[in-house]
Chain A
Amino acid sequence: GESVGLHLPTLSVQEGDNSIINCAYSNSASDYFIWYKQESGKGPQFIIDIRSNMDKRQGQRVTVLLNKTVKHLSLQIAATQPGDSAVYFCAEIGEGSNYKLTFGKGTLLTVNP
């Protein structure tokens, strides 16, 4: 079946460096993608989203890039801070699958001081 997966389960970076978290998706009909941040013991928190008619979207310190040719999504975090340490999930909505937000496995980001 269609699924959303992540290339790396863990990522460790130094404080102040930029972080890049990757996500591969297999449903070519996916038309909406969201990145969530989940801190330990808490529910997922929305970070940024992007539609399939875009290839880049920027927020505060975060940028999402979408490459539909290779079905790849990435989240870039600039000047990573200790408070960015969390599990990051990409999620997608495919065309025709209204209301069903499908989550990937997650990447644990650890920021070292």
Chain B
Amino acid sequence: NAGVTQTPKFRILKIGQSMTLQCTQDMNHNYMYWYRQDPGMGLKLIYYSVGAGITDKGEVPNGYNVSRSTTEDFPLRLELAAPSQTSVYFCASSYTPSGGDTEAFFGQGTRLTVV
């Protein structure tokens, strides 16, 4: 199993550009999450999904959008990149909600810089 795969690993964007961070998992997990991690900080939840076709906002959703057309994929979209979105982004999945009997599996992260 590949687990949770994120692409790209690194990206530099100019202010106002848009991009999509890809996340896919091959574990048939129903729950998926996007977090951002700023330097020296913990992870903040951006969006999450409890299954295909269902998404909901986390703590810091502004400036982002998500979709969940399949169980495997949970892309994160930045429409108008801003310097405040410079961060490391982590995708995670689990087959119960975080807080159930299994942990969330994380991808390796996408390091995004907006200049």
Segment among B12-20, B78-86, B95-103 that sits at the interface with chain A: B95-103
Please tell me the size bucket of the interface on B: 20 to 34
Supposing A43-B106, A43-B107 touch, asked if A99 and B42 sit within 8 A by C-beta, the answer is no
CB within 8 Å of B: which of A75-113? 89, 91, 93, 98-106
A37-65 vs B, CB cutoff 8 Å, 1 = contact: the mask equals 00001111110010000000000000000
Q: Does chain A have a CB within 8 A of B76?
A: no
Nearest A residue to B90, CB-CB: A43
CB within 8 Å of B: which of A22-46? 31-32, 34, 41-46
CB within 8 Å of A: which of B52-111? 56, 58-59, 90, 92, 97-99, 103-109
Residues of chain B lying within 8 A (CB to CB) of residue A31: 99
Q: Are A44 and B99 in contact (CB under 8 A)?
A: no
The docked-state distance in angstroms from the alpha carbon of A16 to that of B58 is 40
The docked-state distance in angstroms from the alpha carbon of A46 to that of B104 is 7
Q: Are A46 and B109 in contact (CB under 8 A)?
A: no
Q: Are A43 and B108 in contact (CB under 8 A)?
A: yes
Please tell me the size bucket of the interface on A: 20 to 34
A31 to chain B, nearest CB (A): 8
B95 to chain A, nearest CB (A): 13
Nearest A residue to B3, CB-CB: A43
Q: Are B45 and A42 in contact (CB under 8 A)?
A: no
Residues of chain A lying within 8 A (CB to CB) of residue B42: 4, 89, 91, 102-106
Q: Per a CB cutoff under 8 Å, which of B4, B97, B107 touches A99?
A: B97
Q: Does chain A have a CB within 8 A of B29?
A: no
Residues of chain A lying within 8 A (CB to CB) of residue B108: 41-43
Q: Which B residues are closer than 8 A to A by beta carbons?
A: 4, 31, 33, 35, 40-45, 48, 50, 56, 58-59, 90, 92, 97-99, 103-109
Question: Which 8 A-B residue pairs are closest in the complex by CB-CB distance?
Answer: A103-B42, A43-B106, A93-B99, A46-B103, A101-B98, A103-B43, A99-B97, A32-B99
